[in-house]
Amino acid sequence: RYESYRDKLSIVAPRPDASITTLSGGNQQKVLLARALALEPAILLLNDPTRGVDVATRHVLYDVFRGLAADGMALVILSSEIEEILLLCHRVLVFREQRVAAEITGDEMKSDTVIAAMFGRAA
């Protein structure tokens, strides 16, 4: 099982039993994702899933997320990066004061629309 996740997520580790703390930040993120995927969840909640990782790792993760969604897994992504959300998601919910302030889909999914909704204004 380790080998399939290592290949799918491009994990670079000296050996399967290496401590996660000895790995780079990007490989630590990938190992944590592999652990979650090993549980075969129907829904995956991701909180800033690419924070602190290099560009190459970011693109590997994006490809994995797209593949999981294409295979039918529901992904809920919370990200502080609007461009990441627009790249990965087909629907954006903007929360303000513990409520859904806006639901953005289709052609409306643009940075300016999301930012306007975040500040309680129309784009």
The pLDDT tens digits for 6-51 are 888 889 888 888 899 999 888 898 899 999 999 999 999 999 999 8
| The model's pTM | 0.83
The pLDDT tens digits for 87-120 are 999 999 999 889 999 999 999 999 999 999 999 8
The pLDDT tens digits for 60-87 are 899 999 999 999 999 999 998 999 999 9
Query: CATH number for the domain including 65?
Result: 3.40.50.300
The upper half-sphere exposure of residue 110, i.e. CA atoms within 13 Å in the direction of its Cβ, equals 7
Q: Are residue 68 and residue 122 in the same domain, yes or no? A: no
Residue 32 lies in a domain: yes
Q: Are residue 52 and residue 30 in the same domain, yes or no? A: yes
Q: Are residue 67 and residue 98 in the same domain, yes or no? A: no
Q: Are residue 54 and residue 109 in the same domain, yes or no? A: no
Q: Is the dihedral of CA 28, 30, 33, 39 positive or negative?
A: negative
Domain that holds residue 123: 90-123
